[in-house]
Amino acid sequence: MIRTNTFEVVPRTDRDAEILRRMLDASASLWNEVNYARRQRFFDDENIWETEKFYDRYVGVLGGASAQTVIRRNSEAWKSFFALCENPDESPSPPGYWGNEDDGRELRTYVRNDAYDIQWGDRSRLEIRIGQDLKDEYGLGYYERLSLEVRGEPHWEGDPGRLVIEYDELSETFRASQPVTVPDDRQDSPLAHQTAALDLGVNTLVACTTSGGQQYRYNGKPLFERFRETTEHIADLRAKLPDDQPTSRRIRRLYRKRTRRRDHAVKALVRDLVSRLHQQGVATVIVGDLSGGFEAKWTAEVNEMVHNFWTYRKFTNQLQAVCEEYGMEVVVHSEAGTSQSCPDCGRIETTTRHQRTLTCACGFDGHADLAASRNLLTQATENSIAGPTARPMRFKWDNHEWRPHEPASAGSTDSAQRRSARDAPENPNEQRMNPQDAATASGDGW
């Protein structure tokens, strides 16, 4: 089976950082040139596989292994496209580009498994081959490789695959992904047997309940508000354009920045959550199925959250990728009825939902999204679980990482528990949740 190690790559000097960026930029140019030629030949009904001239043009910067691997990866994308074309139910588009120099491009490269070496330890490092032209330009020896610092720990050991190195513009960091082939009977932890369920919401991006009684809630309201501010700024700029000019370079850059900022937060959320679940011994992650979309909501703000800010497919793809790194299984399950049912007694007719709280005649009083995740866990496992054993943790995005912000009241608490939560000493990094501080909207989208 294939698992993936991910880690941060840190250039030791400005020279090393410049060399690495040159490699990633050259890879993007190579991909775009190969892809453009293939698209033109495809639309002219010609052979698309000739790539020798592109290899010769970039081998001096990337080295033979990386230049060959980028071209091969593009070939794989085209083969996948042709395979989809054979399915009458699919309407695929040819592989796309990695952006351009003016509007920004995706900085990424692929390194063949025999063209790099990772040495793990107290001073972990990554060494990769580069082209001879770069070596001559920056004064590296003929047999010398580019040496970079590595930050992170490998989760898996086995036969390494081709390395992927990407630059995250928002966090200004280089990250690497290393596929590893490990034996099928390998388990990351023999104690991993817990199950977790994720409810995806509008104001709460993710509400999570584990079968061990832990609950996590990731607050998406501030993140969406920043997304909306950028959207309004784009609208103002559009209003100032001449009638015959549909857009501008500045507007395109704002769109790209808005998307990347959101995607950066989502990726960080998934990684933070999966890491916590792994530490709790979770082996299976259940996520609500929202692929069918959402019904129209009652405010323009919530509709914008659902239809513009919402990235369900991107979230689930990222969740699948990160869970695979940790050897965890992802299961998609219908979440019908989970938002209205009482997690204690299971009834719907006796519950009342007011903004972000859910109450029931049986005495339950808790956060609606956390209750929904608990109901989803019960439905998917066909096993009623006990109430949460610890006060839920609430996380807030600080533009760099998700930090504990305020511990929510437990999924089912009485008045004594609420008083205890108010009187408990505060962590400097946390604030207490006010149950009356209702969000402006609720729902199953984000």
172 shares its domain with 149: yes
pLDDT at 385: 67
- Structural domains of the chain, count: 2
Q: What is the dihedral of CA 219, 222, 227, 232, to 10 degrees?
A: 140
Sequence-distant (6+) residues with CB within 8 A of 285 are 195, 196, 197, 198, 274, 277, 319, 323, 328, 329, 330, 331
What is the spatial distance between Cα 400 and Cα 123, in angstroms, rounded to a whole number? Answer: 25
Q: How far apart are CA 248 and CA 241, in angstroms?
A: 8
Residue 442 lies in a domain: no
Report the C-alpha gap between 160 and 227 in whole angstroms. 38
Cβ contact 70:62 at 8 Å: yes
- Check whether residue 76 and residue 133 sit in a common domain: yes
Residue that terminates a domain, selected from 151, 181, 211: 181
3-state secondary structure of 337: coil
Q: What is the pLDDT at residue 406?
A: 57
Would residue 437 count as lying in a domain? no
Pair (177, 198) in one structural domain? no
- Asked if residues 370 and 391 have their Cβ atoms less than 8 Å apart, the reply is no
Q: Are residues 78 and 200 in the same domain?
A: no
Choosing from 146, 181, 216, the residue where a domain stops is 181
pLDDT averaged per 10 residues in sequence order, the chain, 446 residues:
84 94 94 94 89 90 94 92 83 85 79 93 92 94 94 84 88 88 62 84 86 90 85 90 88 85 87 90 87 52 59 82 84 82 85 83 87 90 69 86 66 39 35 32 34
Say how far apart CA 344 and CA 383 lie, in whole Å.
13
The domain of 10 spans 2-181
**Three-state DSSP state, 115:** coil
In this prediction, residue 399 carries a pLDDT of 79
Let me know whether 54 and 109 are in one domain.
Answer: yes
Q: At what angle do helices 249-279 and 312-325 cross, to 10 degrees?
A: 40
> Last residue of a domain, which of 181, 216, 247?
181
**pLDDT of res. 152:** 84
Coil, helix or strand for 116?
Answer: strand
Answer yes or no: are the C-beta atoms of 281 and 191 closer than 8 Å.
yes
Domain assignment of residue 75, yes or no:
yes
Is residue 356 in some structural domain? yes
What is the DSSP secondary structure assignment for residue 391, as one 8-state letter? P
* Residue 174 maps to a domain: yes
In a domain, 433, yes or no: no
- pLDDT by residue (tens digit) across 218-240? 998 888 888 888 888 998 998 99
Chain segment 151-190, per-residue pLDDT in tens: 988 878 888 999 999 998 777 889 998 988 877 665 555 4
State the sign of the Cα–Cα–Cα–Cα dihedral 317, 261, 124, 11: positive
Residue 257 forms part of a structural domain: yes
The whole-number pLDDT of residue 410 equals 41
Q: Which long-range contacts (CB under 8 A, 24 or more apart) does 244-249 make?
A: 249/102, 249/103
Residues 165 and 205 in one domain: no
Q: Which DSSP helix (H) or strand (E) runs through 67?
A: helix 64-85
User: Which tokens belong to 51?
Assistant: 């790539």
170 and 290 part of one domain = no
- Same domain for 174 and 34: yes
pTM higher than 0.75, yes or no?
A: no
Q: Give Cβ neighbours of residue 18 (< 8 Å, ≥ 6 apart).
A: 138
Whether 238 and 108 share a structural domain: no
User: What residue type is 4 in one-letter code?
Assistant: T
Q: In whole angstroms, what separates CA 285 from the centre of its chain?
A: 15
| Long-range Cβ contact pairs of 255-263 (< 8 A, separation 24 or more) | 256/103, 256/104, 257/230, 258/227, 258/230, 258/231, 258/234, 260/169, 260/170, 261/170, 261/226, 261/227, 261/230, 262/223, 262/227, 262/309, 262/311, 263/311, 263/314
CA pair distance 67, 132, nearest whole angstrom: 13
> Does residue 187 fall inside a structural domain?
no
